[in-house]
Amino acid sequence: MTVSSESKNSLTKVAPLEAVLFDIDGTLCDSDPLHYYAFREMLKEIGFNGGVPITEEFFIETVAGKHNDDIAKALFPDDLQRGLKFVDDKEAMFRKLAKEQLKPLNGLDKVREWIESRGLKRAAVTNAPRANAELMISLLGLSDFFQAVIIGGECEHAKPHPDPYLKGLEALKASKDHSFVFEDSVSGIKAGVAAGMPVVGLATRNPEDLLMEAKPAFLIKDYADTKLWEALEELDKAGTKKV
């Protein structure tokens, strides 16, 4: 399958490329199944939804890509403090699972090498708590790769607001006109687009039709997808043209 000219142009407009910004959960690694498992088991344990396990559809709609404060409000609308304690406990369970099971998304090493060989700036921008973010980055061997790690909860607004991505650009001293984003969730794609950058969407777990509604430049299955490499090749060519 070839990438459309529209998709190519949506990246070539940032030439010459200066920076690449990544989400973490579902973007660097397929971590959603671990989050889903932790939420499902812990909610079942406390009798949420009458003890009926939550579905993947419920997880995608209520949890995936969202900030923990918003998840706590959605799950425990009448007792926010209980909700905040619950999501903290759930994150501890996730970190335990991640240490045992976390794996990089297919092709991540290849795109890492592409970025490093061109001397591009790079940041991780996530709604995950800092403890989760730093653990995942470490487990994936990317601690020396990222020059900045931006946490949504440490910004004025988390994703889907553009603040975390704008803060990422500021930390890198990079221009939105010469940067693009990798994201896997609706809220993350919306945040990147609102920050003025093209977003390459990863259809890791979330439904493609929902992701497309957030207006990514195009979707890829993972970093080995030929659509991505055709687009990056076009971007390389555009960046070497003399003005």
Known catalytic residues?
Answer: 23, 25
* Contact between 98 and 136 (Cβ < 8 Å): yes
Work out the number of other CB atoms within 10 angstroms of the CB of residue 69: 16
Q: Using alpha carbons, list the distances in angstroms from residue 75 to 54, 59, 69, 152.
A: 11, 11, 10, 20
CB 105 within 8 A of CB 27: yes
- The Cα–Cα gap between 143 and 48 comes to 37
The secondary structure of residue 206, as a DSSP letter, is S
- Among 156, 108, 158, residue whose Cα is nearest residue 128: 158
118 token code pair = 């061109």
> Strands across the sheet with 179-183, in order?
148-151, 121-126, 19-22, 179-183, 199-202, 218-220
The residue with tokens 């988390």 is 158
